[in-house]
Amino acid sequence: MIIGRQVGIMHKPIQDRFKISPFLPLYVIMAMQIGIGVLGFQRVVAKDAGNDAWISVLGAGLIIHVIVWVMYKICETVQGDVLTANVYVFGKIAGNALNSFFIFYYILTCAGVLGGLIEIIKVWMFPELNTFVFASVYLLLAVYIINGGLRTVAGMAFFSLVLPAYLLLVFGLAVKHADFTNLLPVFDHTLIDMIKSGYRMSLTYLGYDVLLFIYPFIKEPQKSKKWAHLGVFFTTILYTVLAILTFAYFSGGLLEKSIWPTLEMWKIVQLPFIERFEYIGIANWAIIIIPNVAISLWVASRVTKQVFHLKQRKGVIVAALLCLGILMFLNSRERINMVLDLTALLSFAVSYLFIPFLYLSVLIAKKVKKK
């Protein structure tokens, strides 16, 4: 890595046995984008654009493809990840100081996702659930997965999406109860309302920025571009279809009172061997969330290793303990919302402000260094 040596970052070459196949970024990106937000994003995006919000959902998803293109350009230019890019542009001291931010950012992301899952389990299934015990076991599982390397984490992302995929069929039962005239008239809201709704949806889509950290671990990264874009495309279609179905299923007034509309739609499913199908959905969502937690902890420990030269096996334990400490603070709906809102705001700033700025800075720095 020529640029890495120029700026003083001595990365050891990553052996092929530690790298993931070019198609796996599809599952990694989808696993990060499909999290707790799927269960309740409809009410949030409908606050501004009403039943036209599905258009904002689609538009926000399409914009992500531009950001993904920019991320690949950054990594290709510096021949490394975002950590290399920051040091290349800002120097070793300032660059590593900026890199340290991502440790806090991904630990907070992990805590917010896991805290949201615990809240759902408490509200819908086990009100007396011990947060410390559940979170400790869950984080221990994530640490075990991470110790197997990124290939194991990516494999878990694959299975967390494939195994619960049958849940998509359940939404077909909601179609016969839906009234698609609720979507009319189309384009009944102002452009400003649509933009506000798109902003809210962009917070739900976030998570694809993990690509900036796994890039050096991808075999033949050029071949992974189409898979990364395909992952974003599938996620966009999923959210858009789910938004359309939700707006057709719920009336406006009822949707405002539903915190988790997706779970509400599962309540119509009736099976002879189980009375409440949403319990199965929540149990499956506990599987879907595992990659969110594992990937976030992996990135945090990876940055810790690069910046502070702490072995990743030790770094992931430190990150998990810090995440557990934050979870002990999240003992109310208001505090969970506060952490989720802060994470969403930071994620938006990273994806839509910092990444374009970094790309321009890399291009300028490259020209200056050549001269």
Could you read off the pLDDT tens digit of each residue along the chain, which spans 371 residues?
A: 445 444 444 456 788 888 999 999 999 999 999 988 898 899 999 998 888 999 999 999 999 999 999 999 999 999 999 999 999 999 999 999 999 999 999 999 999 999 999 999 999 989 999 999 999 999 999 999 999 999 999 999 999 999 888 888 888 888 888 888 888 888 888 999 999 998 889 888 989 999 999 999 999 999 999 999 999 999 999 999 999 999 999 876 788 888 889 888 888 877 777 777 888 889 889 999 999 999 999 999 999 999 999 999 999 999 999 999 999 988 887 888 888 888 888 988 999 999 999 999 999 999 888 77
371 in a structural domain: no
87 assigned to some structural domain: yes
Helix, strand or coil for residue 60?
helix
- In this prediction, residue 70 carries a pLDDT of 96
Q: Which domain holds residue 100?
A: 15-362
In the block, which residue shows the tokens 């966009």? 236
Asked if the structure places residue 108 within a domain, the reply is yes
pLDDT, position 103: 96
CATH of the domain at 272: 1.20.1740.10
CA 24 to chain centre: 15
Say if 369 falls within a structural domain. no
| Helices 221-249, 41-49: inter-axial angle, 10-degree rounding | 70
Contact 361/78 with Cβ under 8 angstroms?
no
Task: Indicate whether 194 belongs to any domain.
Answer: yes
Query: Is residue 35 within 8 Å of residue 250, measured between CB atoms?
Result: no
Give me 72's structure tokens: 């690949």
Q: Which residue, 117, 142, 162, 169, is CA-closest to 27?
A: 162
Q: E strands of the chain, at which residues? A: none
Q: How many domains does the chain have?
A: 1
Alpha carbons 298 and 325: distance in angstroms, whole number: 18
Residue 2 lies in a domain: no
Which residues, other chains included, contact 140 with Cβ-Cβ below 8 Å and sequence gap of 6+?
A: 320
Q: Say how many Å lie between the first and final Cα of the chain, rounded.
A: 20
